[in-house]
């Protein structure tokens, strides 16, 4: 075992020593679980680990020595957790560490000592966006020799003097989606230290913007303030060059560049990670050349705003695609329709509000479709057609108000399905919403503001686990117990159940050999 995925498995705790018998791991992903803390002794016996993904959990505490002895670690991802501080001990004695992502936590302060153990480090990718940062101390990043990427988007910054950027060499600085009205002219040389500075979706005053553009042009800098998509074309000459480059990737190569796309490569597994320093936010038709050994593609936090049909036409052999934490708003037909071997498609944490009904046609081997944390307001049954192996559908964290009777019609007769619909503003679930699903492994309806439940939409559905945690259910009518508690295990944590009602539920569940978890 070299690679381990522990994804969406409802894991709440990992004890020290859990992985002690598999020290040979190189890539470890523990994502979309309910883990709240990381103690020392869990990850300390992985001398070969290069990639550690702990995003989308509920982690609020990490022991200072939790990552000791990970001497070969290159990537540490802790996105979308509940961390309030950064501990410099986490990064000690990791000479190859060059990618750190803390986006989407609860960080209010970036202190001067937070990254002191990385002093002298080159070519760093550091992402701190989507945190409620109030203070960035002057020496917060001092000691770094240069950044490939420093991302400070979505921090609610209202002003920036650049004092914390002094002395830094930065290829790309992201300041998108803050609240900058202007930058003082006297601070231009301190703020615009990067080769490229992105300031999209800030309410910059026209006069200030004009001054910035004049200054950056004079000083050979690039400033991006509007959603201008970079459209790339490929000449015949470029195709030949990039094909030769692709074929030259060996087991020892660490970086690969083609058409302004820069990747880190894990050749043993055919894994390619697009780096955030790539100067591309529009993936045009044919932009990826034929790269025969590419099987798994990560496009994480790369500021991608658009994918055009045909972008992936030269790499049909892909089995896994992760396009996450970008700014994509729509998925057209023709983008993913040529992947005959694709089993896993991750499109979570974008801005997607529209998906063409036929966007996922021909994905006959697909097992997992993830669309969490987007802006979808409806589900289209066509997305799931002709996918006999589809087992996992994730639509949590969207804007879905209604689960209608026909939205899963194309899954009729499917067994062992897991469907995640939590964290949506659902107002109505029609009676036949899940009719036809013969047996479900899991149906997740957590945090959808349900105030009562009669179970009419659950009739004739068999399931292992039903999640209705975090709703506003005070009671379930006794006459409806048989319709509501259809699952072997029903989780109702975080509901304000009345004591008398809870007692009746527990007695009924015990009598009918069911499990109801309320705390």
Up-side HSE of residue 178: CA atoms within 13 Å toward CB?
Answer: 26
- H/E stretch holding 500 reads helix 499-511
**Beta strands, E only, 39-80:** 51-53, 61-62, 75-77
Give the pairing of strands 261-266 and 255-258: antiparallel
Q: Which tens digits make up the pLDDT trace of 300-328?
A: 888 899 999 999 999 999 999 999 988 89
- What SS3 class is residue 271? strand
pLDDT for 278: 61
On the question of pLDDT at 240 being above 60, the answer is: no
Q: 0.85 exceeded by the pTM?
A: no
Q: Do domains 3-224 and 236-399 have the same CATH topology?
A: yes
CA dist 75 to 127, 293, 338, Å? 12, 21, 30
Structure tokens at 192: 């615009």
**Closest to 501 (Cα-Cα) out of 452, 444, 429:** 452
Residue 251 has pLDDT above 50, yes or no: no
Q: Is residue 112 within 8 Å of 137, Cβ to Cβ?
A: yes
CB 249 within 8 A of CB 196: no
Query: How confident is the model at residue 237, as a pLDDT?
Result: 33
Q: Are 263 and 255 in contact (CB under 8 A)?
A: yes
Read off the pLDDT of each residue in 189-216 and give the average, rounded to a whole number.
91
Best CATH choice for the domain 3-224 from the list 3.40.50.300, 2.60.120.40, 3.90.1300.10, 3.80.10.10: 3.80.10.10
Dihedral (CA of 214, 217, 221, 226) sign: positive
Q: What is the CATH class of 236-399?
A: alpha beta
Confidence (pLDDT) at 107: 96
How does residue 236 score in pLDDT terms, banded at 50, 70 and 90?
A: very low
Rounded Cα distance, 13 and 33, in Å:
9
Q: Which residues is 224 bridged to in the sheet? A: 198
Average pLDDT of the chain is: 88
Could you tell me how far CA 47 lies from the centroid of its own chain?
Answer: 26
Q: Which of 79-93, 251-265, 437-451 has the lowest mean pLDDT?
A: 251-265
Cβ neighbours for 67, distance < 8 A, ≥ 6 positions apart: 43, 44, 52, 73, 76, 90, 91, 94
pLDDT digits (tens, 9 = 90+) for 98-133: 899 999 999 999 998 899 899 888 889 999 999 999
Residue 38 has pLDDT above 50, yes or no: yes
Domain ranges of the chain: 3-224, 236-399
Cα separation values, 41 from 17, 63, 258, 296, 449, Å: 6, 9, 40, 30, 39
| Three-class DSSP category at 39 | coil
Task: Return d(Cα 220, Cα 300) in angstroms, integer.
Answer: 29
Buried/exposed code over 222-250 (b: 16+ C-beta within 10 A; e: otherwise): ebbbeeeeeebebeeeebeebbeebeebe
Residue 141, CB-side half-sphere exposure with 13 Å CA sphere: 25
Please name the residue that has the structure tokens 């055009």: 308
Contact 430, 457 (CB under 8 A): yes
Q: Please state, in angstroms and rounded to a whole number, the distance separating the CA atoms of residues 367 and 363.
A: 9
Angle at 181 (CA atoms; ends 176, 182), nearest 5 degrees: 95
Structure tokens at 37: 């803390």
pLDDT of residue 483: 92
């Amino acid at each position: 075992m070299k690679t381990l995925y522990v994804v969406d498995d409802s894991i709440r705790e990992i004890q020290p020593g859990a992985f002690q018998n598999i020290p040979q791991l190189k890539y470890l992903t523990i994502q979309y679980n309910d883990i709240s803390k990381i103690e020392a002794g869990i990850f300390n016996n992985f001398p070969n680990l290069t990639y550690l993904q702990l995003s989308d959990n509920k982690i609020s505490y990490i022991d200072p020595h939790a990552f000791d002895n990970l001497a070969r670690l290159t990537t540490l991802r802790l996105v979308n957790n509940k961390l309030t501080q950064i501990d410099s001990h986490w990064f000690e004695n990791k000479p190859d560490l060059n990618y750190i992502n803390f986006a989407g936590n609860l960080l209010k302060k970036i202190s001067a000592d937070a990254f002191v153990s990385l002093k002298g480090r080159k070519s760093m990718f550091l992402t701190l966006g989507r945190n409620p940062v109030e203070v960035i101390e002057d020496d917060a990043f001092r000691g770094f020799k240069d950044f490939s990427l420093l991302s400070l988007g979505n921090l609610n910054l209202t002003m920036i003097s650049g004092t914390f950027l002094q002395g830094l060499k930065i290829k790309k600085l992201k300041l998108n989606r803050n609240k900058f009205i202007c930058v003082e002219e006297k601070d231009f040389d301190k703020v615009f230290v990067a080769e490229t500075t992105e300031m999209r979706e800030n309410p910059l005053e026209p006069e200030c913007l004009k001054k910035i553009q004049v200054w950056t042009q004079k000083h050979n800098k690039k400033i991006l303030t509007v959603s201008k998509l970079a459209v790339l074309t490929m000449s015949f000459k470029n195709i030949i060059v990039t094909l030769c480059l692709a074929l030259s990737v060996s087991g020892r190569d660490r970086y690969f560049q083609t058409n302004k796309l820069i990747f880190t490569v894990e050749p043993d597994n055919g894994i390619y990670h697009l780096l955030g320093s790539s100067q591309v936010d529009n993936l045009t038709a044919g932009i990826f050349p034929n790269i025969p050994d590419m099987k798994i593609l990560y496009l994480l936090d790369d500021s991608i705003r658009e994918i055009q049909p045909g972008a992936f036409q030269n790499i049909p052999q892909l089995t896994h695609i992760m396009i996450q934490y970008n700014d994509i708003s729509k998925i057209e037909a023709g983008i993913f329709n040529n992947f005959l071997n694709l089993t896993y498609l991750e499109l979570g944490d974008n801005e997607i509000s529209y998906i063409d009904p036929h966007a996922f046609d021909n994905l006959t081997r697909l097992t997992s479709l993830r669309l969490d944390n987007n802006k979808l307001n409806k589900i289209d049954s066509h997305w799931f057609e002709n996918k006999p192996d589809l087992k996992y559908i994730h639509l949590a964290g969207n804007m879905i108000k209604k689960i209608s009777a026909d939205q899963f019609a194309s899954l009729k007769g499917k067994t062992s399905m897991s469907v995640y619909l939590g964290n949506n503003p659902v107002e109505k679930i029609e009676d036949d919403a899940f009719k036809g699903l013969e047996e479900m492994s899991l149906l997740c309806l957590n945090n959808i503001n349900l105030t009562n439940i009669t179970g009419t939409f659950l009739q004739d559905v068999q399931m292992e686990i039903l999640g209705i945690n975090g709703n506003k259910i005070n009671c379930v009518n006794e006459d409806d117990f048989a319709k509501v508690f259809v699952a072997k295990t029903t989780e109702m944590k975080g509901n304000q159940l009345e004591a008398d009602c809870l007692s009746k539920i527990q007695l009924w569940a015990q009598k009918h050999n069911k499990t109801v978890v309320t705390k």
